[in-house]
């Protein structure tokens, strides 16, 4: 694979703590020489708590120069953050962060280059940014982990409602249906829905003793214990060992698509959002490139593993 000489400026919009793949996605993003991280924003639920999770990873990576912003606490009482106890146990200081929508607009408008928004969360922050300044869509590429085209969760045939779309349906409709983006590309459940790793790989990462990975792995154990309990505030201790197989690491694929599509087969589709899912449209505002199949799944997974195993600590 050819490494690009000119870095792609990106904004990551994420929701760490509810699922664990966001944390690994941030670690992976930090080790992508093709990408220049301009801003990380946190969406939905208790966004300040999500910002604190991001802050811990950036501290571990010695990358605190990357700004963090948080959005409004959309559905705060309905969305669990399974790392709440982890943050308390580690006496993580509660941060103060600027408004995500404002910072997204500012970052895009102040850039001389096209910014790519990597969206691995419900689309609340991005929609709020569009409400502030709809012109940012034409100045930005959108790459999202979202939706379902031909397959849904657990590889079931047929389109389904996917969390990042249906969590905030009104935001999703605004992002996909109303404004023309410079380009749109998605990692749907069709391909990223079965992206899992086994315990042996997590132990391999643990043995590397990399500060960034240790932060992700330690929080993974707490997350796993909270998932088993079904609560986000009643787990006083972490799990003793990693699961035999992880939950899907959906979000890594969106980051990969930002700099390469080598191992995936993309289709350009005419899609809009209705009732929390994609539907076909005759004349949509945006055509969406979707990674609907693998060209070489083994090579893709090996690429991700290599990136995670060789994370640079600065």
Can you give the CATH number for the domain in which 291 is found? 3.90.245.10
Residue 179 lies in a domain: yes
pLDDT at 235 over 80: no
Average the pLDDT over 80-94 and give the result: 94
pLDDT at res. 71: 98
Q: What integer best gives the mean pLDDT of the chain?
A: 95
pLDDT at res. 228: 85
pLDDT at res. 313: 52
**Nearest to residue 201, comparing CAs of 193, 213, 189, 215?**
213
Q: Cα separation of 260 and 170, whole Å?
A: 30
Average the pLDDT over 28-34 and give the result: 96
pLDDT at 231 over 80: no
Q: Please count the residues of the chain.
A: 314
pLDDT at res. 229: 83
Which helix (H) or strand (E) segment is 164 a member of? helix 163-166
| The two three-digit tokens of residue 3, written as one number | 């490494």
pLDDT at 64 over 90: yes
Average the pLDDT over 45-53 and give the result: 98
pLDDT at 62 over 60: yes
Residue 134 lies in a domain: yes
Residue 64 lies in a domain: yes
- pTM, 2 dp: 0.96
Residues 6+ apart with CB under 8 A from 65: none
Average the pLDDT over 249-273 and give the result: 98
pLDDT at 2 over 60: no
Residue 223 lies in a domain: yes
**Nearest to residue 176, comparing CAs of 259, 265, 276?**
276
Look at the chain and report how many structural domains it folds into.
1
Residue 249 lies in a domain: yes
pLDDT at 18 over 70: yes
- Can you name the residues that pair with 280 across neighbouring β-strands? 271
Average the pLDDT over 253-267 and give the result: 98
Residue 175 lies in a domain: yes
Residue 314 lies in a domain: no
Model confidence band, residue 314 (pLDDT cutoffs 50, 70, 90): very low
Higher per-residue confidence, 107 vs 233:
107
Q: Cβ atoms within 10 A of the Cβ of 9, count? A: 19
pLDDT at res. 90: 94
DSSP type of residue 246: P
Domain of residue 68: give its range. 8-309
Model confidence band, residue 1 (pLDDT cutoffs 50, 70, 90): very low
pLDDT tens sequence across 111-164: 999 999 999 999 999 999 999 999 999 999 999 999 999 999 999 999 999 999
Residue 141 lies in a domain: yes
Q: Give the three-class secondary structure for 125.
A: helix
Alpha carbon 154 to chain centroid, angstroms: 19
Residues 6+ apart with CB under 8 A from 160: 148, 152, 153, 189, 277
């Amino acid at each position: 694979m050819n490494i690009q000489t000119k870095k792609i400026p990106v904004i990551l919009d994420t929701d760490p703590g509810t699922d664990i793949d966001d944390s690994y996605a941030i670690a992976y993003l930090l080790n992508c020489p093709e990408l220049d991280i301009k801003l990380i924003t946190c969406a939905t639920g208790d966004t300040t708590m999500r910002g604190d999770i991001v802050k811990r990873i950036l501290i571990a990576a010695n990358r605190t120069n990357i700004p963090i912003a948080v959005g409004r606490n959309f559905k705060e009482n309905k969305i669990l953050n399974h790392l709440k106890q982890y943050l308390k146990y580690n006496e993580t200081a509660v941060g103060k962060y600027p408004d995500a929508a404002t910072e997204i607009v500012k970052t895009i408008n102040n850039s001389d280059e096209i910014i790519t928004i990597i969206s691995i969360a419900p689309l609340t922050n991005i929609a709020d940014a569009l409400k502030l300044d709809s012109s940012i869509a034409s100045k930005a590429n959108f790459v999202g982990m979202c939706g379902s085209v031909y397959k849904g969760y657990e590889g079931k045939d047929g389109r389904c409602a996917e969390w990042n779309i249906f969590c905030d349906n009104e935001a999703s409709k605004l992002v996909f249906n109303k404004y023309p983006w410079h380009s749109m590309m998605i990692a749907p459940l069709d391909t990223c829905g079965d992206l899992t790793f086994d315990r042996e790989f997590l132990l391999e990462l643990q043995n590397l003793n990399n500060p960034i990975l240790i932060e992700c792995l330690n929080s993974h154990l707490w997350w796993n214990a909270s998932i088993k309990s079904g609560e986000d505030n009643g787990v006083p201790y972490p799990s003793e060992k990693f699961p035999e197989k992880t939950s899907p690491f959906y979000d890594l694929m969106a980051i990969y698509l930002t700099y390469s599509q080598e191992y995936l087969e993309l289709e350009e589709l005419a899609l809009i959002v209705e009732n929390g899912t994609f539907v076909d449209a005759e004349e949509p505002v945006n055509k969406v490139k979707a990674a609907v199949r693998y060209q070489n799944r083994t090579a893709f997974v090996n690429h991700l593993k290599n990136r995670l195993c060789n994370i640079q600590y600065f």
